């Protein structure tokens, strides 16, 4: 009789345990439910990568992979289109992360975003801008992009020469930017990466056998110029570059033609001396295929009276990727395309090299 009772009690106890385990499992399953859109997401961690190496070197070798970023600002936009508005702005502490000695080559940094009101299922655009010791003043960054008051939209997230600043400040200001679109999908940590590249181009020239006189005129300088005025604005979000080049903003830097000049080098007074100079410049489109615009970059030898005594057009090397002879999708075949090319961000344009400078012919 006792055996029967014990067996019955055992069966009842086992059934109760199974029921409890089943109920407990049901409760545990709720812990792993897929987050529902509209709920608040967890934190976001970003890996920032600054690539010092230029995307390409045009004509001949450039200046290496040195970069000079000292400060990085992160902007967060709610959405992905031009109308997405800036909702947060954060200094990520780039220099501090490297012990206040920012690296001058390719570098990475992990950062946990301070803003924490992300919504699961909503896309956000994370825009990072890297500044050297000049570009913050030149473009009024980081304050020029605002998350409060009248928030900046993504379509207006540009770097623009500040009012009252000289256009020549552009030539000394290195500027990096990159972005990533992240849609938070979980309560826990969401990860992302932003690769930052230059939003300026570099142009450097090396010259030798600079004449001291041409005919009866004394040479004062070498002048290197664009076919048009330099632009004073650049989109921080990279735009289309091929087949039609659209990664620029038409924004003449001055009301006159002064800003055509990229740089001027005083004549060394000795034909055997090699001289060099380089600048940053904002992206510029290819000149129109017309005789009046038969170059992108022009080298001029200038006399003391201001007149041009000789000039050379800068030509791309054969097969250069910037060659626009196929029309870049326009259907127009340009026989002068070696001389007509766009100025593209994160490209270095070398006019000669340190070991093979441009020969300006000496005295004539």
Number of H helices, E strands in the chain: 3, 19
pLDDT bucket at 326, cuts 50 / 70 / 90: very low
What pLDDT is recorded for position 254? 84
What pLDDT is recorded for position 55? 60
Tell me, yes or no, whether 207 and 354 share the same domain.
yes
Question: For 125-158, b where at least 16 C-beta lie within 10 A, e where not — what string?
Answer: bbbbbbbbebbbebbbbbebbebeeebbbbebbb
Tell me, yes or no, whether 351 and 215 share the same domain.
yes
Segment 324-336 mean pLDDT: 43
Q: Strands, DSSP E only, in 106-260?
A: 107-112, 124-131, 158-160, 175-182, 190-198, 201-208, 213-214, 217-226, 233-235
- The SS3 call for residue 171 is helix
CATH number, domain with residue 126? 2.60.40
Residue 335 resides in a domain = yes
Domain boundary among the residues 144, 163, 198 is at: 198
pLDDT bucket at 45, cuts 50 / 70 / 90: very high
Tell me, yes or no, whether 98 and 162 share the same domain.
yes
Domain boundary among the residues 198, 217, 251 is at: 198
Domain span at residue 190?
A: 44-198
Tell me, yes or no, whether 216 and 182 share the same domain.
no
DSSP 344: -
Strand 308-313 to strand 175-182: parallel, antiparallel, or no bridges (unpaired)?
Answer: unpaired
Tell me, yes or no, whether 88 and 111 share the same domain.
yes
What pLDDT is recorded for position 189? 83
Distance CA 264, CA 276 (A): 10
Q: What is the mean pLDDT of the chain?
A: 84
Residue 222 resides in a domain = yes
With a cut of 60, say whether residue 123 has pLDDT above it: yes
Domain boundary among the residues 198, 214, 246 is at: 198
Segment 192-200 mean pLDDT: 96
Tell me, yes or no, whether 267 and 352 share the same domain.
yes
Residue 311 resides in a domain = yes
What pLDDT is recorded for position 290? 75
pLDDT of 59-69, one tens digit each?
Answer: 333 345 688 99
Residue 37 resides in a domain = no
With a cut of 90, say whether residue 50 has pLDDT above it: yes
Sign of CA dihedral 99, 48, 140, 87: negative
DSSP 244: S
- Domains contained in the chain, number: 2
Which residue has better confidence, 320 or 138? 138
Could you give the count of Cα atoms lying within 13 Å of 222 in the half-sphere of its Cβ? Answer: 30
Distance CA 197, CA 180 (A): 13
pLDDT of 21-39, one tens digit each?
Answer: 434 444 444 444 556 666 8
With a cut of 70, say whether residue 6 has pLDDT above it: no
pLDDT of 238-275, one tens digit each?
Answer: 999 988 999 999 999 987 778 999 999 999 988 889 99
Tell me, yes or no, whether 256 and 168 share the same domain.
no
Residue 31 resides in a domain = no
Residue 354 resides in a domain = yes
What pLDDT is recorded for position 40? 80
- The SS3 call for residue 314 is coil
Tell me, yes or no, whether 231 and 318 share the same domain.
yes
The CA-CA-CA angle for residues 44, 148, 234, to 5°, reads: 80
Tokens of 150: 């009248």
What pLDDT is recorded for position 35? 60
Residues of the chain by 3-state class (helix, strand, coil), percent to 5: 15, 35, 50
What pLDDT is recorded for position 60? 32
Tell me, yes or no, whether 182 and 67 share the same domain.
yes
With a cut of 90, say whether residue 5 has pLDDT above it: no
Tell me, yes or no, whether 187 and 248 share the same domain.
no
Tell me, yes or no, whether 234 and 192 share the same domain.
no
Residue 16 resides in a domain = no
Residue 99 resides in a domain = yes
With a cut of 50, say whether residue 3 has pLDDT above it: no
What pLDDT is recorded for position 48? 95
What pLDDT is recorded for position 337? 75
Tell me, yes or no, whether 234 and 340 share the same domain.
yes
């Amino acid at each position: 009789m006792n055996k029967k009772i014990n067996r019955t009690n055992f069966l009842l106890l086992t059934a109760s345990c199974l029921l409890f385990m089943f109920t407990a499992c049901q409760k545990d399953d709720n812990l792993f439910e897929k987050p529902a859109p509209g709920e608040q997401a967890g934190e976001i961690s970003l890996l920032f990568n600054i690539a010092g190496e230029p995307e390409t070197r045009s004509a001949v070798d450039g200046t290496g992979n040195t970069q000079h970023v000292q400060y990085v600002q992160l902007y967060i936009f709610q959405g992905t289109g031009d109308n997405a508005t800036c909702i947060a702005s954060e200094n990520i502490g780039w220099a501090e992360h490297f012990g206040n000695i920012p690296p001058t080559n390719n570098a990475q940094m992990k950062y946990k975003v301070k803003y924490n009101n992300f919504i699961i299922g909503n896309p956000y655009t994370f825009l990072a801008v890297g500044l050297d010791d000049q570009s913050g003043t030149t473009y009024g960054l980081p304050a020029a992009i605002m998350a409060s008051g009248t928030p900046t939209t993504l379509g207006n997230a540009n770097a623009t020469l500040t009012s009252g600043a000289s256009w020549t400040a552009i030539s000394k200001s290195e500027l990096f930017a990159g972005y990533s679109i992240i849609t938070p999908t979980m309560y826990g940590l969401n990860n992302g990466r932003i690769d930052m590249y230059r939003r300026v181009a570099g142009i450097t020239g090396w010259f030798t056998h600079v004449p001291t006189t041409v005919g009866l005129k004394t040479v004062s300088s070498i002048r290197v110029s664009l076919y048009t005025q330099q632009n004073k604005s650049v989109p921080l979000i990279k735009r289309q570059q091929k087949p039609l080049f659209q990664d620029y903003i038409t924004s003449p830097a001055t009301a006159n033609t002064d800003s055509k000049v990229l740089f001027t080098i005083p004549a060394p007074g000795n034909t055997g001396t090699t001289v060099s100079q380089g600048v940053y410049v904002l992206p510029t489109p290819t000149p129109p295929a017309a005789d009046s615009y038969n170059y992108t970059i022009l080298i001029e030898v200038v006399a003391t009276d201001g007149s041009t005594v000789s000039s050379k057009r800068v030509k791309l090397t054969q097969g250069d990727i910037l060659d626009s002879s196929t029309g870049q999708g326009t259907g127009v075949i340009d026989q002068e395309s070696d001389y007509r090319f766009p100025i593209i961000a994160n490209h270095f344009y070398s006019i000669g090299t340190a070991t093979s400078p441009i020969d300006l012919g000496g005295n004539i």
